[in-house]
Structure 1
Amino acid sequence: MFIIAGLGNPSREYEKTRHNVGFEAIDLLADKLLVNLTDKKHRACCGIGMIGTEKVILSKPQTYMNLSGESIGSMADYYKVEPDHIIVICDDINLEEGQLRIRAKGSAGGHNGLKSIINHLGSQEFLRIRVGVGEKPKEMDLADYVLGRFPKAQEALMEDAYKAAAEASIMVVEDGADAAMNLYNRKK
């Protein structure tokens, strides 16, 4: 069993913001796998589906970004899922818009959502699919930037990135992290 969690902030005011790229990818993945994200458990909107013969739980934590670990940690404890069977999709300001970077483990890299997950799992051994949202302008506050929306000109690029993140998570489950990293960790 795998948990695939997309990070973001709940409520309409945060829809389509840079911080919500994880939610966008999970919505596409849920559509592809015919999973309804209607269960409200572990402080998340979630649903259970299959990728090949592997059961997967798709999750959109409703705890707000900085407390994502509360939801994911609770889910991992309840379903007895080890960190190496958790996939987290999140934004990354250190990557160009639309670029993906997959890592099997590592630090939070300054991302508060990942920091919360590490704290609640007690491990850095979970896989991350980072979706690039671009570097913030020097004069702009980081919170304002990640809670802002993409310009119209970047919307199609980001839609492609959400689809790629969803496909990458399927590949991780079916073929392993190395296969997904080899395919997706390329510069555009």
Structure 2
Amino acid sequence: MAQDNWLVVGLGNPGAQYEATRHNVGQMALDVLADRIGAGFGSHRSNARVAEGWLRPGGPKLILAKPNSYMNTSGGPVSSLVSYFGIEPDHVIVLHDELDIPFDTIKLKQGGGHGGHNGLRDIAKALGTPEFLRVRIGVGRPPGRQDPADYVLKPFASTERDALAVLLEDAADAAEQLADEGLLAAQQRFHGRDAK
């Protein structure tokens, strides 16, 4: 197993009707990361689309993956990829939407609960541990009494689109920094922004 290999998973649902929704923000951020490392996604036997490249010459290798399954059954593809590439759970980074964080905010953590996020629940179950890294991309709470399940399956509002582009860049930055410098350095960078 190569210690400097990282599996970076962008969560979302398959199909064109979901591509621009809040629930797919993890996959949107993964597209930004793929562009940066000059990698294109192709089919993989793990039931995922995979792209591979290096953060920089001699740096960490990133294996980017978008499960072909629906969000709630992401664990199978992630577990298959971990096995195929020989990656430990602490070298898995999952990018996902987070209702409990305000829109345009990034939070990072390792392990812990799933907070009702079924994609995280399924990955923790499939890996046998919750101790993978998470880039939690804030999408905010739904307005009024809107059902959270409906809210995350809606596209971002036109008023959010400019900020969304920056948010996706930030999420890609966070994933890069986790692989390159570790959790503490990345948390200090992104969590310190709350003080502004």
For normalisation by structure 2, the TM-score amounts to 0.93
Q: Which of 148, 154, 175 lines up with 1:169 in the alignment?
A: 175
Counterparts of 1:72 and 1:121, CA distance in 2: 8
Q: Which of 104, 110, 116 lines up with 1:110 in the alignment?
A: 116
Structure 2 partner of 1:120 = 126
Counterparts of 1:159 and 1:95, CA distance in 2: 17
Q: Secondary structure at the match of 1:120?
A: helix
Tell me whether 1:5 sits opposite 2:36 in the alignment: no
Counterparts of 1:43 and 1:35, CA distance in 2: 18
Instruction: List runs of 5+ in structure 1 lacking aligned partners.
Output: none
Give CA deviations for 1:67-109 in whole Å, capped at 9, x if unaligned: 1111101100111111100000000001111100000221111
Structure 1 partner of 2:81 = 75
Structure 2 partner of 1:100 = 106
Structure 2 partner of 1:41 = 45
Q: Which of 17, 21, 26 lines up with 1:17 in the alignment?
A: 21
State the 1:35 CA deviation.
Answer: 0.8
Counterparts of 1:69 and 1:176, CA distance in 2: 24
Counterparts of 1:41 and 1:167, CA distance in 2: 28
How large is the RMSD of aligned CA atoms in angstroms?
1.1
Counterparts of 1:16 and 1:156, CA distance in 2: 14
Give CA deviations for 1:110-164 in whole Å, capped at 9, x if unaligned: 1000000000001011000000001012421221101001110101111111110
For normalisation by structure 1, the TM-score amounts to 0.96
Q: Secondary structure at the match of 1:180?
A: helix
Give CA deviations for 1:9-62 in whole Å, capped at 9, x if unaligned: 111000110000001000000000001112333111111111232222000111
Structure 1 partner of 2:154 = 148
Aligned residues with identical type, % of pairs: 39
Structure 2 partner of 1:87 = 93
How many residue pairs are counted as aligned between the two chains? 188
Q: Secondary structure at the match of 2:74?
A: helix
Counterpart amino acid of residue 8 in structure 2: I
Query: 2:72–2:118: 8 Å Cα contact kept in structure 1?
Result: yes
Counterparts of 2:52 and 2:35, CA distance in 1: 12
Counterparts of 1:104 and 1:141, CA distance in 2: 28
Counterparts of 2:120 and 2:16, CA distance in 1: 23
